Structure 1
């Protein structure tokens, strides 16, 4: 083992290669002259002659080793200093992204509060107007009318308070969702800040170590390999790029979010959306065995899902909240699709048995909330297949189309008159039609194809499943115009959902996957509830998925 000469007993060494060598061997007291590559130790001439003269020992001149290792360390300095500068520069970017994210999320908070403030104010104005009307009516027959007035005011206050509370609850939930998202973003940025600071501290320690070991040859020779290995390890981690990429992803995800609101079925809904997120199964509702070959054909509220029996065409409604199922229409109804027009009226398309003349009668029916028939609406008939598919558009108009035909009719539900006829170019209706808030219409035009058309009938986008030649069903989110396409993944023997924009661009693949039960061999369409949840049917159960924000 090599060490320095004891004080007072030093051997004068002849300088070599311009270097003052005062390093001696502990065993022989001779100057250190060589470095054994096999044993990785510095040795003197006697050590080399006696203990390291045989192969596989390979000896290098100690001066060459010292100069080479000092050169290696010096070569690493520019890279270390460059990485140090980059990591220091990230501090500003972290602050910028953090400030930008906080500002954007605060804007969302402000939009939510502004929207709900106006609605609460509107409720108050409605209350005041009603009270004024009631007071005017109560001027006659003072005693009796006053009693009646006070009762009506009380009832009015109670009802308006209920409305206020519903609005406040919805606002509180949205603000809570926004707060959770903000906390996720803040935690992620904090983690990245710590990661970046840890890298900076590591670099500083390496630089300090290099400075220290360069002060003595012995320390340099013994510790340089470990220091070099540590430098290479930290350079290979590429912390700078990882942190930078994470910050870019955070900024992109935050800026993608937005507050969306609108009416579906006559009821107001609002939520934070726009991000991809992660879909989680939050509820599984068993379908009663009396419903043979169940197929979802729409919803009439956030919690009420319409399920048709493919065996006898009876119609049921399953409440995903209470998990109660009730038959609403007896066998033979042949409902193709149902949707709420408002809080009182349900729109249903049907498949007719026999139609005469040039009109399809009984294939579009309006029901009240107790499933009593209000009236039927007729459209022109072409061909011999009498299945009719319906939906309602952003203006409250009914859109309807006959199977295997190219015409889509826009109908005013106030008088049942056709106000417009949209003719598709080179395609026909092969299933459901759905209106987008933009005014465009999504039409199933093949067993594995949906087409987005304009109000003039022009094709704007074509949507196919992730796996070609696979039966698929597409459904629309009425608030965001996002499409969700269900299809059979033959390779995995499962059913999958893709998230697609209204332009036909796949935004996320296989956001949900599930196994179809043995009792069903068909692709049942998913449903997008007004609050943005997804409902699918695996043949035995209704599966409810909810989206959560992730980074």
Structure 2
């Protein structure tokens, strides 16, 4: 082993300084100056050690000064990289704070938008209340005591009803603010984790820098500890914490910026929700379809929580409330309904299939019902083709107009439900309606033009996008009326599962298999694949032939 030279005694000769260094490092065994470094045994040795113990191969000796010089050079080469990485991580700390602040600011902006929107709605309710009270007062002034009593009662009833409206709006606002708070919590947790990871890396590098400074003060420490320090530096450099954290922050910022407050009217009712992100769909409720419905098929929704299910065995129509889980039979006339949609809070439009059509008009294929499912009237439109078989598909657009199309034809009608007049006729070029048509909030229309293709057309009949995927077996498409996002339910032959893909209105698949469920293909194939529905409040409702499956979307990072 090597040690410091003993202090000079009387009469001893001073040791010569080598290569500019104050060499006071001696061999513990011989007391001689350290001159070599054995590369095989990785120890510093003196001349007698080299001659007696390390003179035989495979020992390979280096001059100790060269070793010291090389070790110091290696450390000096690494120091700029360590210092540069230290600077990058310090900059990354600032970026973490910036992303966290930016995300929080973005979410605060959404909160402000929500509060502003609902403030106007509450104000509108107040104005509505004032208008009603004015009318009541004007009517009551014409009578004396009895009318005054009637007036006071009506005012009280009005106040009660308006308070209910206010409370409904406040509850919806509270739910939305709760959603943004949840998202903010996810953001905070993720950025805090990244901050901890980054701070740990900074502390590690500061420790390495401190160690480098310490071992550089003594040659012996430098020689003995430098390899471990160099290995630690290389290990930390290879972890690439800076890039990993930076990439994660970019992804977080991108995902948070997707979050939007979307609002609009569907079926005459106002809806608002937090959306825009992909998220993760979670099954929150299974609603069993009564055993009396032998062959259930989802036809559509007539409100946010009312799903129309038809028994295609006998064509009876049922409505299931996904909140109360109550199912009620509403039509038992044995007519196959192809589609249905709410026009407003009082009226529902249904498209039907008939086998006894005659003449040049289609009668009994577009029916208006009230909310008790009593027929209001039939809307008659021109008929094309010479077959007695007629199948009509309907939906309601953003303006409350009915859009209707006969299967195997290229014409789509836009009908005013207040007077049954055709206000526009759209003709597709080179394509025909296979099945369902659906209106987008943009004004465009999604048409099923083949068994596995859906075409988006403009109001002039121009083709804007064709939506298709080879993996879809008997796909069914349904539209989110607030965002125009499409949800394609299909049988995934390769995985032997029922699945749903999320697709943009221009045909880009945004997410594959956002929900999946197992089942027998032969059972599902009895009437092809039952579609999924998207409610205006943001729920996804699927059907596995025995129950309705309610999914909600959660924000994830």
User: Where on the TM-score scale, by shorter chain, does this alignment land: which range?
Assistant: over 0.9
SS at match of 2:309: strand
Contact 2:267–2:396 under 8 Å retained in 1: no
Specify the alignment match of 2:129 in structure 1: 127
The partner residue of 1:395 within 396, 399, 419 is 399
Specify the alignment match of 1:200 in structure 2: 202
Q: CA deviation at 1:545?
A: 1.2
Contact 2:268–2:400 under 8 Å retained in 1: no
Report Cα offsets for 1:169-190 as digits up to 9, x if no partner.
1111111112222222233233
TM-score, normalization: structure 1?
0.94
Report Cα offsets for 1:409-447 as digits up to 9, x if no partner.
101111112111101111111111110111000111111
Specify the alignment match of 1:473 in structure 2: 476
Specify the alignment match of 2:157 in structure 1: 155
The partner residue of 1:424 within 425, 428, 438 is 428
Contact 1:517–1:538 under 8 Å retained in 2: no
For 1:479 and 1:447, the matched residues in 2 are separated by 26
Report Cα offsets for 1:202-247 as digits up to 9, x if no partner.
2222111111111111111111111111111111121222222222
Matched, 1:489 2:495: no
Aligned positions of 1:414-453 closer than 5 A: 414-453=418-457
Q: 1:160 to 1:68 in 2, by over 3 A?
A: same
Aligned positions of 1:152-231 closer than 5 A: 152-231=154-233
Structure 2, gaps ≥5 residues long? none
Specify the alignment match of 1:268 in structure 2: 270
TM-score, normalization: structure 2?
0.93
Contact 1:448–1:468 under 8 Å retained in 2: no
Report Cα offsets for 1:54-75 as digits up to 9, x if no partner.
6655444433322222121111
Contact 1:393–1:399 under 8 Å retained in 2: yes
Q: 1:32 to 1:460 in 2, by over 3 A?
A: same
Greater mean alpha carbon deviation, residues 186-195 or residues 329-338: 186-195
Contact 2:471–2:493 under 8 Å retained in 1: no
Report Cα offsets for 1:447-496 as digits up to 9, x if no partner.
1111110000001111113x446321111110111111222222211122
For 1:116 and 1:30, the matched residues in 2 are separated by 89
Greater mean alpha carbon deviation, residues 367-376 or residues 38-47: 38-47
Q: 1:67 to 1:431 in 2, by over 3 A?
A: same
Q: 1:335 to 1:59 in 2, by over 3 A?
A: farther
SS at match of 2:524: coil
For 2:420 and 2:451, the matched residues in 1 are separated by 31
Specify the alignment match of 2:384 in structure 1: 382
Contact 2:26–2:33 under 8 Å retained in 1: yes
The partner residue of 1:321 within 290, 311, 323 is 323
Q: CA deviation at 1:100?
A: 2.4
Count of residues in correspondence between the two structures: 550
Specify the alignment match of 1:372 in structure 2: 374
For 1:318 and 1:3, the matched residues in 2 are separated by 90
For 1:500 and 1:53, the matched residues in 2 are separated by 77
Specify the alignment match of 1:524 in structure 2: 530
Specify the alignment match of 1:2 in structure 2: 2
Specify the alignment match of 1:295 in structure 2: 297
Contact 1:406–1:424 under 8 Å retained in 2: yes
Q: 1:7 to 1:305 in 2, by over 3 A?
A: farther
SS at match of 2:516: strand
Q: CA deviation at 1:25?
A: 2.9
For 1:331 and 1:39, the matched residues in 2 are separated by 97
For 1:277 and 1:526, the matched residues in 2 are separated by 18
Specify the alignment match of 1:34 in structure 2: 36
The partner residue of 2:346 within 344, 351, 358 is 344
Contact 1:298–1:339 under 8 Å retained in 2: yes
Specify the alignment match of 2:517 in structure 1: 514
